[in-house]
Amino acid sequence: MKTYTTDKINRVVNGVLEGNPTIIITGVEQISQATTGQLTFIGAKKYIKQWNQSEASAAIVSEKLNIEPGPGRALIRVADADIALAEILKLFEAEPPKCAFGIHPTAVVDPTATISEGAAVGAGCYVGPGVVIGKNTVLYPNVTILDDTVIGCETTIWSGTVIRDRCKVGDHCIIHSNVTIGADGFGYRPSLDGQSLVKIPQIGTVQIGDGVEIGAGSCVDRGKFSATTIGDGTKIDNLVQIAHNCKLGRCCIMAGGAGLAGSVTLGDGVIMGGGARVKDHITIGDGVKLGGNTSVVSDVEPGKTLLGTPADDLRKTLRVWAAQKQLPDLIKKLKKKVDL
């Protein structure tokens, strides 16, 4: 079991310690479930009341909050509780499942593939012709990498993932379980006689930058031509759909269930809430924020925050929603006036 004193944790996050510096911390837990010996965090005013009822021995606290540690306990004040918590969670993080360096005897690796120094190819993996696996990259069991795909260095690909032919994944990426990269884009047109559908060949690729993370069950389709691209540092949640020929900038965030139709462009730093979606051939400017379940049907200027279906300015949408709640009472009043 990993343990740290409150003083040690304070030094890790460069905070201001109030209270007992010698408390032994054995783990981290949310404030309502924390027990003696555990650390919790308080990032907002609404959680202050819970501190008095919590059994936690210590807490990471936003420096702006008015709260006292209490007898025998400790607070560590920081500028941003969420960022500090991320550093602390690294201290208690368990070692990842083992995947031995080299090629497992049950893996199938084409003779023309290049497996670089320090790479690990787990049990049941398939690595096709012309594939390049970079230094210290790990393929967990049952990963499939098809022809002429290039995987960078220090990248981790979890079990069940399929990366199809001619794709490129950068360095220091994390691809979680059951991701599909490079499947055909969804392209069909009615036949001339109107009796069937014509499949449009998808001959492009996928290019993923460095430091990208893609959550479990997500899909990144190959381009109809050229490439679907994902910029450096972008983070994609579980069950996200990125259609053919989309172009994502640097450090974008797409939360679970979000989706992009074909040929969407996201600028740098775009944030999409859960279930948000964007119509095909739309351009979203740098720094735009889309609330959960927002539907975007036209281009968005940089820096905007949108909400609703169809998407509109956040404050305007909230005013509309507030007004809609008053409609039943207003209708009753109107009916009374009509009856009079």
**Residues with catalytic annotation?**
244
What DSSP assignment string belongs to 184-206?
PP--EEE-TTSSSEEEPP---EE
Side by side, the strands of the sheet bearing 102-103 are 102-103, 120-121, 138-139, 156-157, 174-175, 213-214, 235-236, 253-254, 271-272, 289-290, 305-307, 312-313
Count of CA atoms in the C-beta half-sphere (13 A) of 281: 0
Count of CA atoms in the C-beta half-sphere (13 A) of 326: 8
In 10 A of CB 91, how many CB atoms? Answer: 16
CA distance 274 to 119: 35
**Cα–Cα separations (whole angstroms), residue 309 to 48, 213, 222, 285:** 35, 28, 28, 19
The residues near 264 (Cβ < 8 Å, ≥ 6 apart) are 243, 246, 247, 278, 279, 280, 281, 282, 283, 284
What residues are paired with 151 via a beta bridge? 133, 169
**Cα–Cα separations (whole angstroms), residue 45 to 33, 34, 332:** 18, 18, 39
Let me know: does 263 contact 242? Beta carbons within 8 Å. no
